[in-house]
Structure 1
Amino acid sequence: MGRTSLKEVRQQEIILAFYKVAKKIGLENASIAKVADHLEINPSLIVHYFKTREALIEGLIHFILERYSDIYKTNGGHYTTAKELTQLMDNLFSRTWDKLFDDSVFYSCYALTYRDKKIRASFKSLHDSLRESLRDALHKACANGVIQLRNEKETAEVIFALIEGAYYYLGMVDSPTENTRKLNMMKRQALTLLGL
């Protein structure tokens, strides 16, 4: 494993600052100048690492992917028992996602996919990668005899759609009790698909 370069470290610092600024004032109001103010550096240093705001948004989308990918690593990613797979579903259908990344920044990035082809491609790559991680988890569980599925890819697609739909839909539910009840209902549907 190679050492992380100073450039990579600096880029991660800038992306994290961009995320914090976007979380505080909204992605639409976050600019290179405001990120520079937050970091107390000259804006030209940010431009040195990210030529445009769009490049910074692409970096933010990769940051989202890294954060969300952590959910699949919680159990070591082996899926040799039903408990490990159930824990993955518990994590996917929980407020764990919210702790990893702010919903308002996520959906602001998502909205940009309708206006910018490059950002759309980056966001699609993020979603493809997350679906592939879920499919890989289901494949491992099948290979280990934990579950039996006719079509791992299709099952992963349906569960991923349940997850995405749940978070979009439940973003409008103000009651924490009702939110938890509905999230658990959707998780039970996913577990039923898996035969758990």
Structure 2
Amino acid sequence: MGRKSLKETRQQEIIKVFYKVAKKEGYENTSIAKIAKVMDINPSLIIHYFETKEELTYSLIEYILERYLLIYTIKNKDGATLAELKKTIEMLFSKKWNLLFDDGLFYTFYALAFREKEIKAKYKTILDSLRLALATMIEQCNSKNLIKVTDPQNTADLIFVLVDGAYFYLSLENNKKIYSERLAYYKNIAYQVLGIEPLSLSTGILTS
């Protein structure tokens, strides 16, 4: 892999600070001036890389996708293993997945998608990419006769319907015990859809 250019590195730094400021103060209250103040740089430097807040927002949404896709780790050149598929399901229904991106910002941008076509298109790309990556893992496990899923694409879609619905509903739940129990319940449904045993019931050892 080639090294990132200075421009790409600087843009990544700005995007990450934008995320932190927006998470703390809210997207609506975040401005290029505030980002520059936190970074201790002149606002004109940010404008050099991102002319408007909207342009910066689009880049942040692409950053979301990159972070979410990190959960798909396939080490075997011959395709996904059953252990990797299970690890992915565990990640999808875990605190670690939910902490990849702030709920408040995620749903703020989701709401903006109803008003801005470009944000809507980018969010669609995120959701489609996540589904496609999971469907590919399922297909690879199918080809090795590790599982028998008749429609990998629709199965992946159904699992993400569970994921999206679960986190939206549970974001309103303050009771940690209920939160954990419901998340475990939704995760087990995902395993049922795949026709495999949950990781906790499996005799195999999952490696990182």
Give the equivalent residue in structure 2 for 1:50: 50
User: Could you tell me which amino acid in structure 2 is paired with residue 58 of structure 1?
Assistant: Y
Aligned match of 1:152: 152
SS in 1 for 2:99: helix
Q: Residue 185 of structure 1: CA displacement?
A: 0.7
Q: Shift of residue 144 of structure 1?
A: 2.0
- Does residue 1:76 correspond to 2:75, yes or no? yes
Higher relative helix content: 1
Please give the per-residue CA displacement for 1:140-172, whole angstroms capped at 9, x wherever unaligned. Answer: 111222111111101011011010000001111
Where does structure 2 lack aligned partners over 5 or more consecutive residues? 197-208
Q: TM-score, normalised by structure 2?
A: 0.89
Aligned-pair Cα RMSD in Å: 1.3
Could you tell me how far apart the structure 1 residues matched to 2:68 and 2:84 are?
A: 18
Residues in 2 aligned to 1:58 and 1:186: alpha-carbon distance in whole angstroms: 31
Distance 1:176 1:29 in 2: 30
Percentage of pairs with the same residue:
47
Give the AA of the match of 1:116. Answer: E
- Partner in structure 2 of residue 66 of structure 1: 66
Structure 1, unaligned runs of 5 or more: none
Q: Letter of the aligned partner of 1:70 in structure 2? A: L
State the TM-score, normalized to the length of structure 1.
Answer: 0.95
Distance of 1:80 and 1:24 partners within structure 2: 39
Matching residue of 2:126: 126
CA contact (8 A) 2:32 2:43 kept: yes
